[in-house]
Amino acid sequence: MGALDTVKALDKEISGGDVTKIAGYLADDFKFVGVAPVPLYRDHAVEMWTAIRTAMPDFNQNMSNHREANAMVYATVEVSGTHSGPLQVPGSPTLPPTGRRFRNPVERIAITVRNGKVAELAVEQVPGGGISGILGQLS
């Protein structure tokens, strides 16, 4: 499986698939940067995606504009969903369901794949993006 195939398979599980399969696509030293004030490592990233999908079963990254170069995949995401369940983002109080729909602005991402696993996912920080963008639209 090439880098792009790995990234698309991971995206399928994050965006409506089986959250229990997400960790299988991530390297042990996986790092998620740009989505929160501090990098999220493998277990924390899986915990965050699980919390988001629990609160927003229709969560979708809407990944598009894929481009692969060696072991890197570049794309854009425009995350969206409907807040239909309690949201417990690690380190924050639980946000009861609001029924609100959200859509973050387009963010560019760069994903490093190493030995068939995603080693790093870097998200461009844009105003209204990331976890704070989601929470801001739901409050």
- Summarize pLDDT for 111-125 with one digit per residue, the tens: 999 999 999 999 999
Residue 45 pLDDT: 94
User: The tokens of 62 are what?
Assistant: 């809407």
Residue 118 pLDDT: 98
Half-sphere exposure of 98 (CA within 13 A, CB side): 15
Distance (Å) of CA 68 to CA 2, 31, 60, 103, 131: 9, 19, 21, 26, 26
112: left (phi over 0), alpha (psi -120 to 50) or beta: beta
The pTM score is 0.93
Q: Is the pLDDT of residue 25 over 80?
A: yes
Q: What is the mean pLDDT of residues 73-92?
A: 92
Q: Is the pLDDT of residue 84 over 90?
A: yes
Task: Write out pLDDT tens, residues 26-57.
Answer: 999 999 998 888 899 999 999 999 999 999 99
Q: What is the mean pLDDT of residues 7-21?
A: 96
